[in-house]
Chains A and B, each alone.
Chain A
Amino acid sequence: MRPAYIRQQERFGFVMITPSMLFLFIMAAFPLVMLVVMSAFRIDLTYPAGNRWLGSGNYLQMVHDSRFWHAIKVTAIYTVSTVFLQVVIGLALAMAFFRSFQGQEILRVSVLLPMILAPVVVGLAFRTMIMTPQYGILDYISMVLGFGSKPWLVDPNWALLSVIIIHTWQWTPFAFLVFLASLHALPSDPLEAALMDARNAWQRFWHVLLPMIRPAVVIVVIFRTMIALRAFAAIFSATGGGPGTATEILNLYTYRESFNSLNLGYGAALGTALLVITVVISMIFFRLRQSKM
């Protein structure tokens, strides 16, 4: 028999977590199960009479759906390039600032702003005042510098580049701040000694600093990949997935299929695909962290 106070502790612990666990089971775990179940049905809100069990029908359709594979490709390009750019730029800036960092306050507020602003406002601002040909400030600067006006959001290739720029602009500060914090957290004596030993700047970076902050790099990659896979509002408001399907990441395709075409069954199958991708990637990351740290 366990002592009474331990039983009291256990009971107390369960009581304290019950509301939030119950909430997450009902509002997160259960809907995800429901999503997978829904993906086995035909659920078309525009023609409810035709709704029926399909089994793997939606998935067979998906395998032959070129728009799905296109969305996967766009998602991969978008995720890999935004995460890569954030890490490289964030790291470079953190390196440049970590020893002579004055006027921290202004810079910290400036880099904090993009991250906490509503993505829909960010997307719309880029679509109008920043990337509109001629009148958008970015296009104007490009013209003044002699690069000429660019079809930022109109041309399919440019549009994909533009949404990558928008995401990178909004989230590089996160990588910068994390790298800055971890550089400051390094023990200074071994760091100084190692920096003295290194022969040139490249060695200092590659053989001294990078190995020391590799854990931070891994974490930033994990965090930012998971967030990039959730991206929606900024792209939706900047391009709506267009022109055509040029910037249609899987999230946007799923949204359009579910809530524009009101084809919830197929939408659920696409959502399940996204869920599987998310789970697989986080499992890979989980392994990566365990083995390297």
Chain B
Amino acid sequence: MAYQRSLGWLKELRSAMVFSLYVLMILVWAFPVIWVILTSLKSRTEIFTLPPTIFFKPTLEHYIEALLAHDILQGIINSLLMACGTTLFTLIIAIPAGYAFSRVRFPFRDRLSFFALLAQMAPPIGLIIPCFLLLSRLRMLDTYGGLIAVHMTLTVPFSIWLMITYFQDLPPSLEEAATVDGVSPFNTFLKVVLPNVWGGVGVTAIFAFIESWNEFLYAVVLTGSKTKTAPVAIFGFLAAEESRWGPFTATGVMIMAPVIIVALVAQRHIVKGMTLGATKG
């Protein structure tokens, strides 16, 4: 009896500890993000009030200032164009490759897919030096095409690999009926197989978009006044005026917003896609 009771007591202690750990984890990981959002809504004096306030009268002044006075609007438009372009062109070339690598037999298949994996390991700083020289020779510095092409070196390899895993999950018999009916392989891919993996295409698109939207190193080297992306703009802005936390956080929220919305809507798929390589490998 006593033993049973003490076990129950231990169990309760254990669940209480797990619960406090749970709260602590949420605080540690979500709080900095929430803090950025709160700061962006505080007035200039409120930001530097000690102790920090949690309840205050929100204001949008920093958002207006960031958008109007600091070129941030242009940066966000540029980022949007770059990220959409990168996503679109990545999908166009990565989906067919993922399909061929997973469901079509041809010579050197494994070696070529391994090459796609290797391309993912190339250190970005090692790629950017020759790419900078190449693009400057081609007069493509500070162009949309230049940065999109370089961003695609990040997105194409992992998109191929994500798509391979989605195509592999389909039943092997999927193409058989169409092949017997004499439909061409490409039409089979387009009309029979592709409609079954739209979910996977969506997840791949999300990853490609986020990668390009957040990317900093390539953007800071390859863009100039015309095509500067939002991450570059926010960096330049804060480097100039260290203490302007208001407009900085407002810009930060605008950069984080699309990603946070995607995270809320598609969190299950993102977690799955992220841990896919690790849990399946």
On A, residues with C-beta under 8 Å from B are 5-6, 8-10, 12-17, 19-21, 23-24, 27-29, 31-32, 34-35, 38, 43, 93, 96-97, 100, 103, 105-122, 124-126, 128-130, 134-135, 137, 140, 144, 169, 173-174, 177-178, 181-182, 185, 216, 219-220, 223, 226, 229-230, 232-233, 236-237, 251, 254-255, 258-259, 264, 267-268, 271-272, 274-275, 278-279, 282
Question: Whole-angstrom distance from the CB of B36 to the nearest CB of chain A?
Answer: 5
With an 8 Å Cβ cutoff, the count of chain B residues facing the other chain is 94
Question: Are B126 and A271 in contact, CB atoms less than 8 angstroms apart?
Answer: yes
Q: A93-B21, A124-B235, A232-B124 are in contact. List 13 more A-B contacts (CB 8 A).
A: A10-B106, A13-B105, A24-B115, A32-B130, A103-B22, A129-B245, A134-B50, A181-B279, A226-B121, A237-B216, A237-B235, A258-B132, A271-B126
- Partner among B18, B35, B153, B213 whose Cβ is within 8 Å of the Cβ of A129: B35
Question: Are B39 and A169 in contact, CB atoms less than 8 angstroms apart?
Answer: no
Per the bound structure, the CA–CA distance linking A62 and B260 in Å amounts to: 43
A-B contact pairs, 11 of them (CB 8 A): A5-B179, A16-B96, A34-B133, A116-B210, A117-B214, A125-B36, A128-B238, A129-B35, A129-B249, A230-B124, A258-B132
B30 at the A interface (CB under 8 A) = yes
B93 at the A interface (CB under 8 A) = yes
Question: Are A278 and B157 in contact, CB atoms less than 8 angstroms apart?
Answer: no
A-B contact count (CB 8 A): 267
B63 at the A interface (CB under 8 A) = no
- Partner among B28, B153, B179, B248 whose Cβ is within 8 Å of the Cβ of A169: B28
B152-185 vs A: 1/0 string, CB under 8 Å? 1100110010000000000000000001000001
Question: Are B185 and A28 in contact, CB atoms less than 8 angstroms apart?
Answer: no
Please name the 4 residue pairs, one residue from A and one from B, whose CB atoms are nearest each other, closest first.
Answer: A13-B106, A16-B100, A118-B214, A233-B216
Per the bound structure, the CA–CA distance linking A221 and B11 in Å amounts to: 33
- Name which residue of chain B comes closest to A250, CB basis: B125
Per the bound structure, the CA–CA distance linking A16 and B217 in Å amounts to: 31
B131 at the A interface (CB under 8 A) = yes
Interface centre among A5, A229, A271 (most CB of B within 10 A): A271
On B, residues with C-beta under 8 Å from A are 14-15, 17-18, 21-22, 25-26, 28-30, 32-33, 35-36, 39, 48, 50-52, 92-94, 96-97, 99-101, 104-107, 109, 112, 115-116, 119, 121-134, 149-150, 152-153, 156-157, 160, 179, 185-186, 189, 210, 213-214, 216-217, 221, 231, 234-235, 238, 242, 245, 248-249, 252, 255-256, 259-260, 262-264, 267-268, 270-271, 274-275, 277-279, 281
Per the bound structure, the CA–CA distance linking A112 and B238 in Å amounts to: 26
In the complex with contacts A9-B105, A112-B263, A223-B249 CB distance below 8 A: no
Per the bound structure, the CA–CA distance linking A115 and B127 in Å amounts to: 23
Residues of B within 8 A of A97 (CB): 18, 21-22
Residues of A within 8 A of B94 (CB): 20
Question: Whole-angstrom distance from the CB of B61 to the nearest CB of chain A?
Answer: 17
- Partner among A144, A223, A230 whose Cβ is within 8 Å of the Cβ of B278: A223
